[in-house]
Amino acid sequence: MDPLSDEKIVDSWGKNAAPWIAAIREEQVESRKLCTNQAIVEAVLSCAPRTVLDLGCGEGWLSRALTAHGLQVTGIDVVPALVEEAQRTGGGPFLVLSYEDLADGKWEDTVDAIVCNFSLLGKESVEGLVQAASKLLNPQGRFIVQTPHPVWACGDLPYRDGWRKGSWAGFGGDFTDPAPWYFRTLASWIHLFLTNDFHLRDLREPIHPEHEKPASVIFIAERREDASQSL
């Protein structure tokens, strides 16, 4: 398997389901606890959707948080162990499907909003999903994406799109075989939405309360009126 590929991302998340569930339960990721969890919940609520698709939902914390606000949420993830944990914990429904499955039309419903919280990690899988996303949305539907802020996440490497090796730095000891990820500049993210049936409605930069740098970026894109609805 190519170590820098969409296939490797899925393989790695499959191997790390158990430590990931523990990390979320124990709030091991400080930036999530202090900043980004609240930011994504507020971003979704600001769009006032009735129905939401939580894509790459992991063990389901965001689906549960949005359900608690009265929204009707469906969670989808490619890793069966994460979906089983989400089902066990409540909220949902939760389904095992990949972004490739969604792009292939295997989920036939439509929703008012799609949310992806740190779950758009790959190259072709993400491009295919964004291309298909408008067909999963009702008119004026929103596509809400939180991802590491490119200016910060770039580190010392050149600021240009490309595959990066993964790392579990900052996590507990049980993680193994980190997933690679595909780095996109801020301009590339925006281009991805604008070339796939979306307007960009808002761009938020949640600030970490301690170091006062952006902890992430949140894109709120709106389905264009002229977006095709045929699958």
Ligand X SMILES: C[S@@+](CC[C@H](N)C(=O)[O-])C[C@H]1O[C@@H](n2cnc3c(N)ncnc32)[C@H](O)[C@@H]1O
Residue nearest to ligand X (CB): 58
Is the Cβ of residue 140 or residue 176 nearer to ligand X in the bound state? Answer: 176
Rounded to a whole number of angstroms, the distance between the first and last alpha carbons of the chain is 31
Smallest gap from residue 75 Cβ to ligand X (A)? 9
Smallest gap from residue 224 Cβ to ligand X (A)? 24
Q: Which of 121, 40, 104, 101 is nearest to 73 (CA)?
A: 40
Smallest gap from residue 159 Cβ to ligand X (A)? 22
Smallest gap from residue 226 Cβ to ligand X (A)? 28
Is the Cβ of residue 114 or residue 121 nearer to ligand X in the bound state? Answer: 121
Q: Are 146 and 40 in contact (CB under 8 A)?
A: yes
List residues near ligand X by CB under 6 A: 9-10, 13, 24, 56-58, 61-62, 77-79, 82, 98-99, 117-119, 121-122, 125
Q: Are 198 and 222 in contact (CB under 8 A)?
A: yes
Is the Cβ of residue 47 or residue 121 nearer to ligand X in the bound state? Answer: 121
Q: How far is CA 193 from the centre of its chain?
A: 14
DSSP, residue by residue, 49-111: -SEEEEET-TTSHHHHHHHHTT-EEEEEES-HHHHHHHHHH-SS-EEE--HHHHHTT-----E
Rounded-to-integer distance, Cα 171 and Cα 173, Å: 7
Is the Cβ of residue 139 or residue 162 nearer to ligand X in the bound state? Answer: 162
Phi and psi angles of residue 114, each rounded to the nearest 5 degrees, phi first: -110, 135
Is the Cβ of residue 144 or residue 221 nearer to ligand X in the bound state? Answer: 144
Smallest gap from residue 27 Cβ to ligand X (A)? 11
